[in-house]
A and B are shown apart, each in its own frame.
Chain A
Amino acid sequence: MSSTDFRDPYASARETTEGTVYSVTGGDWDQTATEIGANKEERVVVNMGPQHPSTHGVLRLMLELDGETVTECRCGIGYLHTGIEKNCEFRTWTQGVTFVTRMDYLSPIFNETAYCLGVEKLLDITDQIPERATVIRVMMMELNRISSHMVALGTGALELGALSPMLFAFREREKVLDVFEMISGLRMNMAYVRPGGVAQDLPSGAIAKIRETVKDLRKNFKDNEKLLVGNSIWMKRTKDVGYLDLAGCTTLGVTGPVLRATGLPWDLRKTQPYCGYEDYEFDVITATSGDSYARFLIRMQELEQSLRIVEQCADKLEKSEGSPVMVTDKKIAWPAQLALGGDGLGNSLEHIRTIMGESMEALIHHFKLVTEGFRVPAGQVYTAVESPRGELGVHLVSDGGTRPFRVHFREPSFNNLQSTAAMVEGGQIADVVAAVASIDPVMGGVDR
């Protein structure tokens, strides 16, 4: 069969009121190109994604092209919708953590912390959270910011054709994930932050490991810096690409590095401190050019700021060794205690002994809290944290029961992704990739 005989049932031309529409699925390019070329008007709609290696997961971009220029861009999302918000309404407040950690899977600690801060605000126990738990949260968040930025930088570079930065970035990320694994038992989706504190205290040797990791990371970040900062190819691909100014950011609700790349030093850690961020020394990084390169530079420099915060946390944690990491109120604190046994992390035998052999009250208490959960007074709150992608807000509504009435996440990826059209329309199709990479959307967060 010659190529001209080949007829793809899905790729055919059809007449519409707007002219002939060709659907191209590949394989018969020459024939279609000749046919389209014969037309006066050349307008091509290309579906980029949802299965495309440079769309950060399952983002679908519908691009209308004039030659290689993008004249219109629309996003199709929802391919990763998992109904987490609905599911949360059918589980206890504590179990909700396990769900929300899976939303934006690159920054699980931020999801957990934002959610827990909300629950604690509803319970009105914000000032009862032990200092040590708060410091651990801050440290975990900043480590998480590093691992998330590493993916943003690594995959961003990979999508633009630079393979080596990705290898370095994932090497560093792996080091951070090792720390997570040591502390929480899991590398991702840890459900480590709980309403009232954190699931467990740091294991012995954790601080030493963190200090060593910080030292390594600081040294190794230079590899990526040398590869990309000032690299002429990298700059040609990212400079003046995906431009969005301050007015665009405010009207589209864009936050995070994209907003700071316009010169506005808006970082919730500084402007509306939570978790005691006012006690840490760090700088808010900004840039002024508002393009993909500026966003890249901001992420690069935020790594160092996060390392600074982690170091300060390590100092504080050394001093508070042995103090509690869960609120003292036994009506809220998760009763199950974990301990490291011969076969890994599991239930603390001491705790099992107490509830099974010594105290009937403790057993009842354990059972009630674990199965039914605690009650949260009716009302609604909105809490926000500065996630690696911008303002991560949680809107929680309680009706006084043991399960949330409504959990809504204001995901920065979701809002930032809306600005894609503003960034790419009028530019080249190759720049779409650079623009989307600089927004750094995580589809798990966009679709929830």
Chain B
Amino acid sequence: MFGVKGTGDTSGYGGLVRSSEQPGSSQRPFGSYFDEVADELERAYPLFSDAIEKVIVDRGELTLHIKRERLVEVAKILRDTPSLRFEFCLGVSGVHYPNEKGRELHAVYPLLSITNNRRIRLEVSVPESDPHIPSLVEVWAGNNWNERETYDMFGIIFDGHPALTRILMPDDWPGHPQRKDYPLGGIEVEYKGAVIPPPDRRRSYR
């Protein structure tokens, strides 16, 4: 009734085996304005079939999976072609899928076109062992801080970023907290030479 299968774990707290089947790629027609966007992009960008790995239409939203080498080119086309004109890039959100071997780290860019009142989403995936994505700061300067945040939290290195440093965590912080293998809490913090143990290892809690 609540979707628990096989594991027998009905406690409801942790330990449940989670499926992580993301929606697969879609076929034309995509519906809504998505066909038009895809057509225009194909017309303006001859390497479309090479650059776009897959197109996903899910829950009324269009996602274009792009090869990282082609990201900046596609972004420029999306921004500059009059019929596309995505003036706004609303940042970048990292997602860590540890089970997707070879493409663990994803960067998701929501785009907004004020001219055409449309939204689409770009997604780039890279392996954990080689977490490099070209920076989009030269296309949308406002992505500067967002890319720093994603670097800070996921360790994705945005090549060509003017100053890729940590932004929310302290400069000397080890690790990237939003990765799935990074624990919630339980981190020792060193401040001016003194080490403060995590809450669960402080004496009064033992």
Instruction: Tell me the A residues contacting B by CB distance below 8 Å.
Output: 77-78, 81, 83, 85-87, 89-90, 121-122, 124, 250-255, 264, 266, 271-272, 368, 371-375, 378-382, 384, 391, 393, 395, 397, 399-402, 405-406, 408, 410, 414-415, 417-418, 447-448
Determine if B22 and A378 form an interchain contact, defined as CB atoms under 8 angstroms apart.
yes
Chain A residues with Cβ below 8 Å from B89 are 253
Q: How far is the CB of B13 from chain A (nearest CB, A)?
A: 6
Nearest B residue to A121 via CB reads: B59
Nearest A residue to B152 via CB reads: A78
Interface assignment of B178: CB less than 8 Å from any CB of chain A = yes
Determine if B91 and A86 form an interchain contact, defined as CB atoms under 8 angstroms apart.
no
Q: How far is the CA of A77 from the CA of B145 in the complex (A)?
A: 10
Determine if B121 and A271 form an interchain contact, defined as CB atoms under 8 angstroms apart.
no
Determine if A400 and B18 form an interchain contact, defined as CB atoms under 8 angstroms apart.
yes
Q: How far is the CA of A250 from the CA of B23 in the complex (A)?
A: 32
Chain A residues with Cβ below 8 Å from B145 are 414-415, 417-418
Determine if B22 and A81 form an interchain contact, defined as CB atoms under 8 angstroms apart.
no
Interface assignment of B168: CB less than 8 Å from any CB of chain A = yes
Nearest A residue to B18 via CB reads: A401
Nearest B residue to A382 via CB reads: B110
Taking A253-B91, A272-B119, A399-B21 as given, write out 14 further A-B residue pairs in contact, using a Cβ cutoff of 8 Å, ordered by the A residue number: A77-B168, A86-B177, A250-B87, A251-B140, A255-B88, A372-B16, A378-B19, A379-B23, A382-B119, A395-B108, A402-B12, A405-B20, A406-B96, A410-B91
Chain A residues with Cβ below 8 Å from B114 are 250, 264, 266
Set A124, A250, A381, A447: member contacting B88, Cβ < 8 A: A250
Interface assignment of B83: CB less than 8 Å from any CB of chain A = no
Chain A residues with Cβ below 8 Å from B170 are 78
Q: How far is the CB of B27 from chain A (nearest CB, A)?
A: 17
Determine if B91 and A379 form an interchain contact, defined as CB atoms under 8 angstroms apart.
no
Q: How far is the CA of A447 from the CA of B149 in the complex (A)?
A: 10
Q: Mark B145-185, 1 if CB is under 8 A from A, else 0.
A: 11001000100000000000011111000000110000010
Can you list 12 contacts pairing A with B, beta carbon distance less than 8 Å? Answer: A122-B59, A250-B87, A253-B142, A372-B16, A380-B63, A381-B61, A391-B112, A395-B93, A395-B108, A400-B20, A418-B142, A418-B144
Q: For the side of the interface on B, what is the size category?
A: 35 or more
Determine if A81 and B142 form an interchain contact, defined as CB atoms under 8 angstroms apart.
no
Q: How far is the CA of A393 from the CA of B90 in the complex (A)?
A: 8
Q: How far is the CA of A266 from the CA of B122 in the complex (A)?
A: 23
Determine if A401 and B140 form an interchain contact, defined as CB atoms under 8 angstroms apart.
no
Q: How far is the CA of A267 from the CA of B145 in the complex (A)?
A: 24
Determine if A395 and B142 form an interchain contact, defined as CB atoms under 8 angstroms apart.
no
Q: How far is the CA of A380 from the CA of B60 in the complex (A)?
A: 11
Quick one: which of B1-29 are within 8 Å of A by CB? 2-3, 11-13, 16, 18-23
Quick one: which of B124-153 are within 8 Å of A by CB? 140-146, 149, 153
Chain B residues with Cβ below 8 Å from A89 are 184
Q: How far is the CA of A372 from the CA of B4 in the complex (A)?
A: 11
Determine if B2 and A375 form an interchain contact, defined as CB atoms under 8 angstroms apart.
yes
Determine if B167 and A83 form an interchain contact, defined as CB atoms under 8 angstroms apart.
no
The answer to whether A397 and B95 touch (CB under 8 A), given A83-B177, A253-B90, is: yes
Q: How far is the CA of A399 from the CA of B13 in the complex (A)?
A: 16
Chain B residues with Cβ below 8 Å from A395 are 93, 108, 110
Q: How far is the CA of A364 from the CA of B145 in the complex (A)?
A: 47
3 smallest beta-carbon distances between A and B, as pairs = A372-B12, A253-B142, A408-B93
The answer to whether A372 and B22 touch (CB under 8 A), given A85-B178, A395-B93, A415-B145, is: no
Quick one: which of B37-70 are within 8 Å of A by CB? 58-61, 63
Chain A residues with Cβ below 8 Å from B166 are 78
Q: How far is the CA of A22 from the CA of B127 in the complex (A)?
A: 46
Q: How far is the CA of A271 from the CA of B90 in the complex (A)?
A: 16
Determine if B22 and A380 form an interchain contact, defined as CB atoms under 8 angstroms apart.
yes
Set A251, A368, A382: member contacting B141, Cβ < 8 A: A251
Interface assignment of B32: CB less than 8 Å from any CB of chain A = no
Q: How far is the CA of A373 from the CA of B11 in the complex (A)?
A: 11
Q: How far is the CB of A444 from chain B (nearest CB, A)?
A: 13
Q: How far is the CA of A161 from the CA of B2 in the complex (A)?
A: 58
Q: How far is the CA of A417 from the CA of B13 in the complex (A)?
A: 39
Determine if B142 and A254 form an interchain contact, defined as CB atoms under 8 angstroms apart.
yes
- Counting chain A CB atoms within 10 Å of each CB, the highest count among B89, B112, B119 belongs to B112
Q: How far is the CA of A310 from the CA of B89 in the complex (A)?
A: 32
Interface assignment of B117: CB less than 8 Å from any CB of chain A = yes
Q: How far is the CA of A415 from the CA of B146 in the complex (A)?
A: 8
Chain B residues with Cβ below 8 Å from A417 are 145
Chain B residues with Cβ below 8 Å from A374 are 2
Determine if A252 and B141 form an interchain contact, defined as CB atoms under 8 angstroms apart.
yes
Determine if A380 and B142 form an interchain contact, defined as CB atoms under 8 angstroms apart.
no
